[in-house]
A and B are shown apart, each in its own frame.
Chain A
């Protein structure tokens, strides 16, 4: 609009001067013409200045626009990146969930298999009890962990004896008591007390010797109130040695009675 005004003024002035020229070529007219020319030049300068300013303004606007666009592009990229990350996380989360589900399923299957295996072992024990004309209600089985939790002393299952002796040494009182308590509180568990001896002399007589040792442990447990049906004293004589050396150290390891729980096998 400004431009138009200036332009029309210039046109008007030019028209006036030509009118003046045509009517009279006076000094005043020339002065007026010069003034007008100066005015036109000035106005031209102003116009040019305005145009330059306009150009600068436009350039600034363009730059501003470009900056804005760049910012928008970056923002878009960032948004997309964030979206991608979010998607990845979502997928990872999903995968984790599936894995966890699979793990739980696997655990469930394993637990089921374990349970089945335990049932099978209990059934096997029941079958043996039946075959041996034993009480088939005595099919309680234990794990080492269960014994440890109940009382760590229960993991001490060997009672050692002196040569040709079957008296239980006083040191074993607590161990025997721990086993007695466990048996009383677990009335379906039946243990074997297995007597052993060193390998010197008659194998058959050694069976009788080992029997004395297992009988002694059995008597100690009975005295503490364990029902007889839960204990069976047997002898392996010298047939299942722990140590094979022909020396006192090996013999001492073999002069023992073992308390054997029905253990779940892995």
Chain B
């Protein structure tokens, strides 16, 4: 039942080895499997791209986005271009085994970038999408990410989560920075900077808030930070330790870990604070709660069985928590995928920490990464990829892998150490970060 994808680790190392040489925030992608089922697609240069700076060329950004999909295979098409009104050379693309072609044209109208693009089905010789999108100059890359999402959605039934944002905490010594960047690592912005450790950032379902743990006082407390307003509020400061916040799907509650009644136990509080309701009741360490997408269950880590393993409890407290992981002596940090059918987690084997995923249906386990110290998995909003903190040459880096293990990529961060990762919901790119 266990599918081991770790022999592909060597390729991953290649991806990361190339990171330091590329510009800040850039992504390097490695396809490590699944070729047979991928849809071959070519993205041609958009007419008008040649007049823009490299990082604003829509065609290139769309191609780079689609390369991170485990459902597509981006066919090399550099140098090829076509006008939006031209008919593509169906015979040529058919002969190169390309099923789909994206063509487009971009122009500036005032301070807006306007793109007209089409997704062409080579076999049927027809345009299956043709539309116009626009973005202000300041968010021109999102114009491309939105096109990529639409193309992806049309071909696979779900958006690629390209027009989204990610968040991570960069740490050096005790100094912390909460950084928000585009999903591909570009446009990195500092949300908050402090001389104290910060950890466990979690993005609210509506994309406007972050919950995290800060150690600026002796007692660790949980804050909710309004990204657009730049304001922050303490929502949990109970005696002892307040840690591991997790949003409920409706954004109205937080599951948290408190030690106020002794040990580490899981409670639910309002997103603005308020009285905690206890969910777990054990003499063991229970922590890392994570809500199911339907809000009815919580996954968490507990050492009640002698070693840390992943359990599931139901919010209405109807049944005893159910143990989900049995493989190995260390399984932590569970995170539900958007469909609620899989969860990602961190497993330890031979002192190495790596990312794995398990099906809640049939219990299938996939070992996805093979790093020395991979942790803090966070699902993309489409549930198809997992972002995680890792290490490259002793420095913090972000890694990502598709849930089927066939596609992985790295994002350069130049952080000393990464303490927590979050992936914003769809449309999180619309949230303006307060200056």
Contacts and interface: CB of A to CB of B under 8 A. Distances in A.
A236 B264 CA distance: 13
Interface string B316-337: 0000000000000010110000
Interface stretch (B87-95, B153-161, B235-243): B235-243
Interface in B126-183: 174
B244 interface: yes
B217 A205 contact: no
Given A202-B332, A208-B257, 13 more contacts: A200-B373, A202-B308, A202-B376, A204-B200, A205-B287, A207-B213, A207-B264, A207-B287, A212-B264, A234-B219, A239-B419, A240-B197, A240-B215
B230 interface: no
Nearest to B351: A200
B199 A239 contact: yes
B263 interface: yes
Interface stretch (A48-56, A60-68, A105-113, A126-134): A126-134
Task: Provide the main secondary structure of the chain B interface.
Answer: strand
Interface string A192-219: 1010000011111101110110010000
B74 to A, nearest CB: 35
A233 interface: yes
A30 to B, nearest CB: 141
B345 to A, nearest CB: 9
A236 B215 contact: yes
B355 to A, nearest CB: 11
A205 B264 CA distance: 10
A201 to B, nearest CB: 6
Contacts of B376: 202-203
Contacts of A240: 174, 197, 215
A239 B218 CA distance: 12
Given A133-B237, A203-B376, A260 B259 contact: no
Contacts of A237: 199, 243
B34 to A, nearest CB: 29
A235 interface: yes
A128 B263 CA distance: 24
A201 B243 CA distance: 16
Interface residues of B, number: 40
15 contacts: A132-B217, A194-B218, A201-B332, A202-B301, A202-B332, A202-B346, A203-B420, A204-B287, A205-B287, A205-B332, A232-B239, A233-B241, A234-B240, A236-B197, A240-B215
B246 to A, nearest CB: 10
B220 A132 contact: no
Given A128-B217, A208-B285, A234-B218, A203 B259 contact: no
B199 A203 contact: yes
Contacts of A204: 199-200, 243-244, 257, 287-288, 301, 332-333
A236 to B, nearest CB: 6
Nearest to B303: A208
A205 B333 contact: yes
Nearest to B173: A244
B429 interface: no
Given A202-B288, A212-B285, A236-B197, A207 B218 contact: no
Nearest to B213: A207
Contacts of A233: 240-241, 259
A188 B11 CA distance: 61
B46 interface: no
A39 to B, nearest CB: 128
